Structure 1
C-alpha cells in the first residue's frame, strides 16, 4: 500500500506543479474576466452620449423626449432636423432620431456617426411602439382602461407535487436551483473528462516500453503502479474541482450585495444550490470523472509510446460526446425522454443523464441508488480489466494496433 501511495503522490506532485495544470486552473477565471471586460468596454463604446429628437409634430417630439430622458442624454434645444444635421456635422451630438407620422403610422429614422447597437435600438423602438399604441387606441376611441384590458394576457403557473403515503403533497424543492446545478454538473464533467483524458493516457503510456519500467517493476507490481497512476490523476482533478468550489464560495461573499446577485437569489435559493451541489450530483460528478479517468488509462495502456496518447483517447472522446450531447439537447426540452431514462442506468452515460433527471425530479431515490450501484460495479470491473491489460502490456514495445494489442493482452491473461 505504501508503494501505491508513493506512485500516486509522485504523479500528483508532478502534475500540480506543472505549468499546464496552472493554466488549466486559471483558464476559466481568465475567460470570465475577459468576457466581463469585453462586455464592460463594449457597453462603454456602444453608449450614445447625446442625441436629439426631432419631428414635424411638436407634441410627438416632446412626448418622446419625456419618455426617453431616463435612458438617453437628449439635447432639448435641437427641435428641427436641419438643426440636428448641423449639430451632427459640428460633432455636438452623436446622432438624432427623426419621427414622422403618416396616416396614424409612426416611423423613426436614426442618423448617427456610430451604430446604435442592439440594446439602444430596442429601447428606441420600444418607445415608438408605446406611442403607436396610444395613437391606435385614440383612433379607435378606446379608453385607457379598455387598452389595459385589451393588452392583458393569460397566465400559466406550475405547481409540482409528490405522492407520499397515498396523499398528494406540494413539492417544496426549488426546481430552478436544481436545474442549474444539474446542468452545471453535466457541463463541468464534460469539460473535465475532455481535458484530462489525454493527460491520463499520456501518463500511463509515457513509461511503457522503456527500461525505467523494468526498474519500477522490480520494486512494485504492475497493478499497484497502474492504480497509483490513476489515483494521482484523480487527486489532481479533485484538487481542481475543490479550487473552483472554494473560489465560488469566495465569489459569493464578495458579490452577494450586488443588485444583480440579489435579484438572482430572490429567484434561486442559495441553500438549494448548495444542497444540489453537495448531494447526489457531486457523487455522479466524482464517479463519472473516475470512470472516464480509468477508461483513458486503459486506452493509454494499449499504446507503446506517449506520442500515441492522442490516438489512444480518440475512442474516449467519441464516447464522451455520445454520452453528453443527447443529454444536453434533450435534458431541458424533454427530460422524460426514454433515451435519457435508459442512459441514466448505463455506466459512462449515467453521470451525464441522471443529474438532469434529478434536476427535473423525474427519478426516485431507489432509482438513483440502483444507478449508483451499477456505476460503482462498472468502475470496479473496468479497473480490474485495465490493471490486467496493463500488466500484460507494460513491458511490450510494439507498433501493432490498439485492438491487436488488446487481443494479445487478453490471450496472455487467459493463459495465466
Structure 2
C-alpha cells in the first residue's frame, strides 16, 4: 500500500509543478477577467453620452426629455435638424433623435456616426411607446382607469406538486437552481475530461518503451503502479476543483454585501444552490470523472510509445462529445426527452444525463441510486480490466498498433 501511495504522490507532485497545470488552473480566471473587461470597455465604447431631441411637437420633446433624463445627457439648445447635423459633425453631440407625429402615429429616427446600441434602442422605443400610449388614450378619450384596465395582461403561475400519503402537496424545490446546477455539472465534467484525458494517457504511457519499467516493476507490481498513477491524476483534478471552490468561497465572503450579489441571491438562494451541488450531482460528477480517467489510462496502456498517447485518447474525446452534446442541447428545452431518459442509465452517459433529470425533478430516488450503482460498478470493472491489460502490455517494446497490443494482452491473460 505504501508503494501505491509513493507512485500516486510522485505523479501528483510531478503534474502540479508543471507550467501546463498552472495554465489550466489560471485559464478560467483569465477568461472571466477578459470577459468582464471586454464587456466593460464595449459598454463604455458604445455608450451614448450626449444627444439632441428634435420635434415640432413641444409636448413630445418635453416628454422624451423627462423620461430620458436619467439615461442621457441632452443638449437642449439644439432645436432643428440643421443645428443637430452641425453639432454632430463638430462632435459636440453623439447623435440626435428626430421624432414626428403623423396623425395618431408617432415615429422616431436616430442619427449618429456609430451604430445604435441595443440598450439605447430599447430606451428610445420605450420612450416613444409611452408617448404613443398617451396619444392613443387622448384620441380615444379614455379615462385613466380605463387605460389601466386595457393594459392588464394575463398571468400564468407555475405550481409544482408531489404526492405524499395520497395527498397532493406543494413541492418547494427550486427548479431553476437545480437546472443551473445540473447544467454546471455537465459543463464542468465535459471540461475536466477534455483537459485531462490526454494527460492521463500520457502519464500511463510515459515509461513504456524504455527499460526503466523493468526497474520499477522489480520493486512494485504493475497493478499498484497503474493504480498509483490513476490516483495521482485524480488528486491533480481534485486540487484544481478545490482551488476554484475555495476561490468561490473567498469571493463570496468579500462580495456578499454588494448589490449585485444580493440581487442574484434573491433569485438563486445560496442554501438551495449548495444543496444541489453537494447532493447526488456531486457523486455523479466524481464517479463520471473517475470513469473517464480510468478509460483514458486504459487507452494510454495500449500504446507502445508515449508520443502516441494523444492519438490514443481520440475515442475518449469522441465519446465525451457524444455523451455531452445532446444533453447540453436538450437539457433546457426538452429535459424529459427519451434520449436523456435512456442514457441516464448507461455508464459514460449517465453522469451527463442524470443530473439533468434530477434538476427537472422527473426521476425517483431508486432510479438515481440504480444509475449511480451502475456507474460505480463500471468504475470498478473497468479499473480491474484495465489494470490486467496494463500488466500484460507494460513491457511490450515493439512498435505495434493499439489493436495488436490489445490482442496480445488478451491472449496473454
* TM superposition shift of 1:374: 0.8
**SS state at 2:74 partner:** coil
- 1:200 is aligned to 200
Q: Which moved more, 1:99-108 or 1:307-316?
A: 99-108
Contact 1:4 1:227 (8 Å CA) reproduced = yes
What stretches of structure 2 of length at least 5 have no aligned partner?
none
- Distance, in Å, in 1 between the alignment partners of 2:18 and 2:82 is 66
| Mean Cα deviation higher: 132-141 or 114-123 | 132-141
Number of the residue aligned with 2:145: 145
For the pair 1:10 / 2:10, whether they are aligned, the reply is: yes
Q: Show the 5 A alignment for 1:147-226.
A: 147-226=147-226
**Residue 44 of structure 1 aligns with which residue?**
44
Mapping 1:17-416, distance limit 5 Å: 17-413=17-413
Deviation at 1:239, TM superposition (A): 0.6
Regions of 4+ moved over 6 Å: none
Between Structure 1 and Structure 2, how many residues are aligned?
Answer: 413
Tell me if the contact between 1:55 and 1:81 (Cα under 8 Å) persists in the aligned partners. no
**Shift in Å, 1:106:** 2.0
Residues of 2 paired with 1:262 and 1:379: CA distance? 41
Normalized against structure 1, the TM-score is what? Answer: 0.96
Higher deviation after alignment, 86-95 or 151-160: 86-95
CA contact (8 A) 2:16 2:236 kept: yes
What is the CA distance between 1:369 and its match in structure 2? 1.3
8 Å CA contact retained: 1:189, 1:288 = yes
| CA distance in structure 1 between the partners assigned to 2:330 and 2:35 by the alignment | 28
**TM-score normalized by structure 2?**
0.97
CA distance in 2, matches of 1:16, 1:165: 53
Q: Deviations over 1:165-213 (max 9, x none)?
A: 2222211222222111111111100100110001001111111111111
Deviation per CA, 1:326-368, whole angstroms, max 9, x where unpaired?
1111222222222211111111111111111111111122111
Indicate conservation of the 8 Å contact 2:185/2:285, yes or no. yes
C-alpha separation between the residues in 2 aligned to 1:400 and 1:139?
Answer: 87
Report if aligned partners of 2:304, 2:400 keep a CA contact under 8 Å in 1. no
RMSD: 1.3
Alpha-carbon offset, residue 120 of structure 1: 1.1
